[in-house]
Amino acid sequence: MATNRTFTMLKPDAVENGHIGAILEKITAAGFKIAAMKYTQLSKRDAQQFYAVHNERPFFGELVEFMTRGPIVAAILEKDNAVDDFRALIGATNPEEAAEGTIRKLFATSIGENAVHGSDSDENAAIEGAFHFSGREIF
């Protein structure tokens, strides 16, 4: 598998609960290299656009409120098979269903406040990375 990229956000709950360092440690220990990173906060419009695919879902309003309530860490990560390996590292959307040792099992609070985002395809990884970073911010 060629080296490629995924996009992640450490969500507001992870930041509020003091888990930035521990989560980044898990990510780098799993072999991901950081290609870009910033500490930032989504506006309502940013969150609505970022999660537009979910705009008909009953939890959409709650998701936008949650994702905008405080700062996040956004990053582009590089590794062989990055998208699938990162999804495996973070675990299931609902932490109650996430495998032992996964980031969501360790650090998520609930299905809504689940500590981390991971892109679900190479195509979305590229779109989501470009949403947050300009070419000169990616190394």
Q: If binding is defined by CB under 6 A, does position 34 make contact with ligand RTP?
A: no
Catalytic residue among 19, 54, 117, 132: 117
User: Cα separations (Å) of 107 from 73, 89, 99?
Assistant: 15, 12, 12
Q: If binding is defined by CB under 6 A, does position 114 make contact with ligand RTP?
A: yes
Q: Which partner in Mg ion, ligand RTP, none is near 111 (CB below 5 to 8 A by kind)?
A: ligand RTP
Choosing from 5, 19, 79, 117, the residue that interacts with ligand RTP (CB under 6 A) is 117
93 labelled binding-site residue: yes
Q: Is 117 one of the catalytic residues?
A: yes
Q: How far is the CB of 120 from Mg ion (least distance, A)?
A: 5
69 labelled binding-site residue: no
Q: ∠ CA(95), CA(96), CA(97), 5° rounding?
A: 85
